[in-house]
Amino acid sequence: MSSQTPSSLHFVLIPLMASGHQIPMVDMGKLLSQHGVAVTIVTTPVNSLRLDPLITAHNVKFGLKIQLLSIRFPCVEAGLPNGCENLEDLPSRNMSRHFFDAARMLQEPLEKILKDIQPPPTCIISDKHLPWTVQIASKFRIPRILFDGMSCFSFVCSHNIMISKVYEQQSDLETFVVPGLPDRIELNRAQLPSSFNHGSLDLVDLRKEIVEAEKASYGWVINSFEDLEKAYVQEYRKTKGDKVWCVGPVSLCNEGDSDKAHRGNRSSINEGQCLRWLDSWPPGSVIYACLGSLSCPTAPQLIELGSGLEATGRPFIWVIRKSEITTSNDDLQLWVSELEGRVRDRGLLIWGWAPQMLILSHPSVGGFLTHCGWNSTLEGVCAGVPMVAWPLFAEQFYNERFIVKVLRTGVSVGVRAAIKWGEEGKAAVLVKREDVRKSVEEIMSGGREGEEMRKRATKLAEMAKRATGGGGSSYLEIKAFVEDVKQVSNKLRQQVKDS
Ligand code: UDP
């Protein structure tokens, strides 16, 4: 068997069906295809409708080959409502297990398709939440590479907290210093991800399976770049070995307005209208507020957030997920409509999906109130804007510390405990309107402190651009990654031939 040329390389990407996972995987697919690799992205019919326009546009623009492989998602067999193919569409968090069961049922049909696909798969890049992909890689004798969607900083925090067990003797709200880090990072137990604080819906068995599958994986691709978190990338490599490639920020592969606008879902606002609204404000004057794709704040919490934005007196864009309104009461709908009336001259409310990257990269945006999902955090970094950090759950409190204490490009809104998956209703009000107003003020003006913060943010955005440009660290890491996979795959093929 002859060794593989770049054009015979075929990487199969298997994202978890949730925006925060699909979006960076699609971006990674685009980047890989620019390095001469054929890319297949495994998805399901409903998700395919969301992703198809972006893939088609990319293929047309670059003449490259990314294909979507859509497999029927067995909703009904797994006990989910028909069409519920994305974590965002779950009618209730209680159904998470059904969702992961349905995802697991994709294994068999996927294996059948991969047997005949051309060129034969060279490797699998799998979301870490799909541990069953390790069996596919083993059957096809190809490497499985993991994409876990977090930063090296988050991994190192979790790792050091886990092995030191520093949290065990603490009460929920008592702060401790994370041991063994180059920076002084304080957290409390209630802010840690659910692996440290099991909620009633925690899928402990799935978590164990994920850990086992990790051990059988070949390497890791990380959506980050060396200069952003050098010391933490080194720590990561100390733990995981040298098969770690920092290839981000992957979102920077989207250069034109159309690519920036069409990511992950159909926008709930006309992009032209959104740009015209942004054009009408001076540079750096608008605050953009979005709590990600999975947030479920209570009605009183949403009222505090909206009131805080109103109290800033500044122009703002506020993204409200449709489910936040529809699952809440009529009073909230009325309240938001009244707010919309009061701030008509300076507030733009987006009900549903916002073209986040398009908005963030507009010069009139001067600040980002974010839930600190890692994609949003990186998108804020790339846009060069300071951030108000409002973490909700998962590893978002690590990202908050990273923004505030390591990058020093944002302020914390002051949340003291994570919301447990499925227990959102219990959270009531964690952040008051005055906290929102004050934090926004600190990043948008904030005297000398604020100015320094904004300067640092601008510098980081330049560094991100350099990392992904030709000859930059992330560009070179993708090249090295493709070359490494080519070598190992040739070796494995030779072994199969010899056996
Ligand atoms: N996003 C978007 N519009 C929205 C909400 C989210 O484009 O209205 C995108 C955002 O740009 C990011 C992703 O969805 O790329 C969310 O990922 P993140 O890791 O920030 O958070 P998650 O939603 O997974 O908690």
| Closest ligand 1 atom to 149 CA | 19
Q: For residue 6, which amino acid is it? A: P
Q: What's the sign of the alpha-carbon dihedral 82, 83, 85, 88?
A: negative
Q: Which residue spans within 30-122 are E strands per DSSP? A: 38-43, 66-70
Identify the bridge partners of residue 188 per DSSP, sorted by sequence position: 175
373-412 tens-digit pLDDT: 999 999 999 999 999 999 999 999 999 999 999 999 999 9
Taking every pair of Cα atoms in the chain, the longest distance, rounded to a whole number of angstroms, is: 74
**Per-residue confidence band for 91, with pLDDT thresholds at 50, 70 and 90:** confident
Q: What is the mean pLDDT of residues 339-350?
A: 96
Report the chain's mean pLDDT, rounded to a whole number. Answer: 92
Q: In this model, does residue 2 exceed pLDDT 50? A: no
Nearest CA, atom 15, ligand 1: 375
288: left (phi over 0), alpha (psi -120 to 50) or beta: beta
Q: Which atom of ligand 1 is nearest to the CA of 293?
A: 23
Tokens standing for 234? 């080194």
Ligand 1 mean position to 275 CA, how many Å? Answer: 19
Give me the residues paired with residue 125 across strands: 13, 145
139-193 pLDDT, tens per residue? 999 999 999 899 999 999 999 999 999 998 889 999 999 999 999 999 999 999 9
The domains located in the chain, with CATH, are: 6-248+469-498 (3.40.50.2000), 265-464 (3.40.50.2000)
* pLDDT value, residue 6: 55
Q: Summarize pLDDT for 199-220 with one digit per residue, the tens.
A: 666 788 898 999 999 999 999 9
Residue with the smallest CA separation from ligand 1 atom 11 is 356
Map residue 100 onto helix, strand or coil. Answer: helix
pLDDT given at position 498: 86
Placement of tokens 């070179």 in the chain: 476
pLDDT in tens, 447-498: 899 999 999 999 999 999 999 999 999 999 999 999 999 999 999 888 888 8
Query: How far apart, in whole angstroms, are the C-alpha atoms of residue 411 and residue 369?
Result: 10
pLDDT band at 1 (very low <50, low <70, confident <90, very high): very low
* Of residues 291, 267, 357, 320, the one with CA closest to residue 24: 357
> Strands 66-70 and 144-147: what pairing?
unpaired
Read off the DSSP letter of residue 81.
-
DSSP, collapsed to helix, strand or coil, labels residue 494 as helix
Closest protein CA for atom 21 of ligand 1: 373
Ligand 1 interacting residues, C-beta cut-off 6 A: 19-20, 23, 263-264, 290, 292-294, 319, 353-354, 356-357, 373-376, 379
CB-CB contact of 444 with 367 (8 Å): yes
**Contacts by residues 51-60 (CB-CB < 8 Å, ≥ 24 positions apart):** 51/22, 51/26, 51/264, 53/262, 54/26, 54/259, 54/262, 54/263, 55/26, 55/29, 57/258, 57/259, 57/262, 58/30, 58/33, 58/259
Rounded to the nearest angstrom, the distance between the alpha carbon of 423 and the centre of ligand 1 is 21
- The strand ranges marked E within 6-59 are 10-14, 38-43
200 within 8 A of 420, measured Cβ to Cβ: yes
Give the range among 62-76, 362-376, 472-486 with minimum mean pLDDT. 62-76
CA distance 70 to 423: 33
Write the pLDDT tens digit of every residue in 16-47: 999 999 999 999 999 999 999 999 999 999 99
Beta-strand ranges (E) seen in 130-241 are 144-147, 175-177, 186-188, 219-222
- Interval between CA 263 and ligand 1 midpoint (Å): 9
Closest ligand 1 atom number to CA of residue 356 = 7
